[in-house]
Amino acid sequence: MAGSPTTGPPFAGSLAATQVAIYRDEGYLFPVPVFTADEAAELRAAFEAFEARWSDDTNLPRPFAQYLRDGMQVISPAADCIARHPAVLDVIESILGPDLMVWTCELLAKEPHSPKMLTMHQDLNYWGFDAVGQHVTAWIALSEVTDENGAMHFVRGSHRWGNVDHHDTFGADNILSRGQEVTVAHDPADEVVVALSPGEMSLHDGLMVHGSGPNVSDGRRVGVAIRYLTPSVRMHDGRDDYATPVRGDCSGAELLMLPVPAVDFDPETVPFHERMLVAHDETLGAGAAQPMVYDGVRTVESP
C-alpha cells in the first residue's frame, strides 16, 4: 500500500502505567516514539505525493484544504495506513481500551515563513460528542517540530477546566475553521511547547487548551493529527456522524461506519466522505456567524 512503512514499528507497545497516569493527570503525553526517522520520511513523502497529485485539481467540489483537514483516512490510503498502524494503535489502546475508531485524520502542515497559526482552543467544544474521556488525539510529527516552526503549546492540566467559553475570530491567518479562541486566561508557566522529532507523537485530551504559532523557520512543519474514539461515543444531539473502525470490536458503535479507500479519492468511499463533511459542516459550524473557512476558502453554506 502506498505510504506503508517498509520496516516494522520500532517502538510498538503499550504505554507504561506511569505514562498513562501522566496523561490522565496532565491531559497530554509526549514524546511517544512510534516510527523511525526513515519511516517518518516515507510517510511524509506519501502525504506530500497526495498533495502534489490533488492540490491543483479544479474538479474537487470542496476547497482542497478541507480534504486535508477532515477525514483524510476515507480518501487517502496513506492516511488510512498511518491511522490504523499497529505502532500507533498499541499506544492508543493503553488509553482508550481495545476497541478503537478513527473520527478523522488531518494533515497539518505549515509552510516556511508562514504566518498560519491556531488560537488557543479546546477541540471538544466543537466536536459534538456526548462523552468526555472516550477520545484522544494523536499528533504525529513527520518533520522536526520546534517552537520556531510552529509547534503546539499545551496548557498543563486544562483538561480539568471543563468546557470553557470560546469566541470566533475568523482570523485571516488562523488555520482553525472559525478561528475559535478560549476567552479565559492561563498562567504562562503552565504552557508547554510540544517539540517533537520525526516519528514522535504527542497525545492530548479533547478538553486540553492548546494552539500553535506561525512558522518563522526555513523548513516546512508537517504533522498528522488522528482523532481516536471508542465505539461508545455518540453525538449529543442525536445527529449522524461517522468513524472508521480500526481495532477490536466496533460492531456496536453509535457512529456510522466509514469504508476504507483503495485509491486516492476512491469512488467507493468519496460519497461517504462527503456525507461526513456535511455532518461536520453542521456540527463544527454550529452557532457560527459565517461558514467555516479552510486556508482562506469558505466551505459551502451550512444549512
Ligand X SMILES: O=C(O)CCC(=O)C(=O)O
* Residues within the interface to ligand X (CB under 6 A): 108, 118, 123, 137, 139, 150, 152, 210, 212, 223, 225
Q: In this structure, are residues 51 and 7 in contact, taking their beta carbons and an 8 Å threshold?
A: no
Q: Least separation, in Å, of the C-beta of 278 and ligand X?
A: 22
DSSP string, 62-106: S-HHHHHHS-GGGT-HHHHHHHT-HHHHHHHHHHH-S-EEEEEEE
Cα Dmax for the chain: 50
Judged by beta carbon, residue 243 or residue 269, the one nearer ligand X is 243
Q: Least separation, in Å, of the C-beta of 197 and ligand X?
A: 16
Residue 109 burial (10 A CB sphere; 0-12, 13-18, 19+): buried
Judged by beta carbon, residue 81 or residue 225, the one nearer ligand X is 225
Q: Least separation, in Å, of the C-beta of 263 and ligand X?
A: 26
Q: Least separation, in Å, of the C-beta of 108 and ligand X?
A: 4
Q: 17 is written with which cell numbers?
A: 502505567
Judged by beta carbon, residue 32 or residue 269, the one nearer ligand X is 32
Q: How far apart are CA 207 and CA 68, in angstroms?
A: 23
DSSP string, 179-234: -EEE-S---GGGEEE--B-TTEEEEE-TT--EEE--B-SSS-EEEEEEEEE-TT--
Judged by beta carbon, residue 15 or residue 142, the one nearer ligand X is 142
The radius of gyration of the chain's CA atoms, rounded to the nearest angstrom, is 18
Ranked by CB distance to ligand X, the top (closest) residue is 212
Q: Least separation, in Å, of the C-beta of 137 and ligand X?
A: 5
Q: Least separation, in Å, of the C-beta of 226 and ligand X?
A: 9
Q: Are strands 118-121 and 210-212 parallel, antiparallel or unpaired?
A: antiparallel
Judged by beta carbon, residue 195 or residue 265, the one nearer ligand X is 195
Judged by beta carbon, residue 81 or residue 118, the one nearer ligand X is 118
Q: 259 is written with which cell numbers?
A: 469504508
